[in-house]
Chain A
């Protein structure tokens, strides 16, 4: 890992310091195989938020690849043993998956820092441990699941059991790919579902490596597949697909509404974590001082999409509040970077809106 005071200015330095082999092209993974580079499909140039250099090209999944990914997941669910494995059998596989993620934590952290802009400390200290913990947690949960039995109807016994829902689509946000996808992925896998992940077009490398790593750890082919691309192209084809049973989404509210409308056509189940605008109510207390001088971990945690500390409501009884000190930037890897020009201008617009609406001080 780079030392805090080392100035890092280009992708090669960051890649080298983390022994990353940067791909020229990111593609999807269907039934255990990476999709080959296909001329004639849409190629997107992805930019590193830290250095603003081109990072790699992303091959967008066209309708054909989306169909093949859903078919692979459908096949694994409908025709293989996967949904019918005993808890012990499935846990044996998922334990290897979990261990493989832990073994590759440093690599996955560095990749996400490069394409998301979150400092490496946050990646190694929170995102990757939580990714592993999500698997630990749901493996444990699966071992304690039980059904219900009702005997109140004379001459009858009603037994309630749970079965895997089927093919689950998990749409990743750009800002925390492995931690947020794995929360839903682990729950879907321990209960015997099969999955098609769609990575964000801004941070697909993390999930491409993640899917390669967990497949290599022994997941049966087709249990976890990966497609790439933008929401209005790949995403839309995927959520409208009749072969999909469940959609899990973390992202923006407007996109969530569009997904729900698409899902309604075949009554897919949906679970969605959408936008936030979190208020902090601060009364006079020792907390007020701590908050305005938060520890490094609380600051600039997830640049440009900070849903957590975005509104501070301060009691008038508080005396002068010293606002957060200007970020003194020791090194690229410890300073968060806003994802791209679009996010920068969105953030600026939001600040202007807040100024006007509440006369808020920024």
Chain B
């Protein structure tokens, strides 16, 4: 663990973002403005506010920048492990266009 000091919030955010990684981050503060500003500015896949490592399996988990590609979670995991297929079917009788002619 390293301890570093900062003066104002923007300096803290600058230090936090001064990394090629962006997996998770934490904000420990009481005021909403600090929390929301940090959440908006920090480049990381998760911002835990006054919260130790806690996973909601529904929510996406993964990294910004060189901390990864893709996410785990409800939609993201299903996306990774499936292929989507579109099947298009006519809903009634069709007149097929002649080859080389524009479809009216």
Binding site for B on A (CB under 8 A): 130, 133-134, 137-138, 141, 145, 151, 153, 155-165, 168, 183-184, 187-188, 191, 193, 246, 248, 253, 256, 260, 269-283, 285-288, 291, 297-298, 301, 306-316, 321, 323-324, 351, 354, 358, 360-362
Contacts and interface: CB of A to CB of B under 8 A. Distances in A.
26 contacts: A137-B58, A141-B78, A162-B82, A162-B85, A163-B83, A187-B80, A191-B78, A248-B80, A260-B69, A276-B24, A277-B19, A277-B23, A279-B15, A281-B9, A281-B27, A281-B38, A282-B28, A283-B29, A285-B29, A307-B24, A311-B15, A312-B1, A312-B2, A312-B3, A316-B6, A362-B1
B94 A280 contact: no
Contacts of B74: 141
Nearest to A294: B52
Interface residues of B, number: 63
A283 B72 contact: no
Contacts, number: 222
Interface in B80-98: 80-92, 94
Q: In the complex, which of the residues B19, B57, B82, B83 has the most CB atoms of chain A within 10 Å of its own CB atom?
A: B82
Contact of A191 (B66, B72, B82): B82
A151 B9 CA distance: 50
A281 B84 contact: no
B81 A188 contact: yes
A311 B2 contact: yes
Contacts of A324: 1
A288 B28 contact: yes
Interface in B1-48: 1-7, 9, 12-13, 15-16, 19-31, 34, 38, 42, 44
A287 B91 contact: no
A133 B57 contact: yes
A309 B1 CA distance: 7
A287 B50 contact: yes
B69 A138 contact: no
A273 B1 contact: no
A275 B86 contact: no
A193 B81 contact: yes
Nearest to B30: A285
Q: In the complex, which of the residues B2, B31, B50, B89 has the most CB atoms of chain A within 10 Å of its own CB atom?
A: B2
Interface string B61-75: 111001111111010
Given A271-B72, A283-B29, A285-B29, 18 more contacts: A137-B57, A156-B88, A156-B89, A159-B89, A161-B87, A246-B80, A275-B66, A278-B24, A280-B27, A281-B13, A283-B28, A283-B30, A308-B53, A309-B1, A313-B5, A323-B3, A361-B2, A362-B3
A165 B63 CA distance: 23
A170 to B, nearest CB: 10
A360 B1 CA distance: 9
A162 B19 CA distance: 37
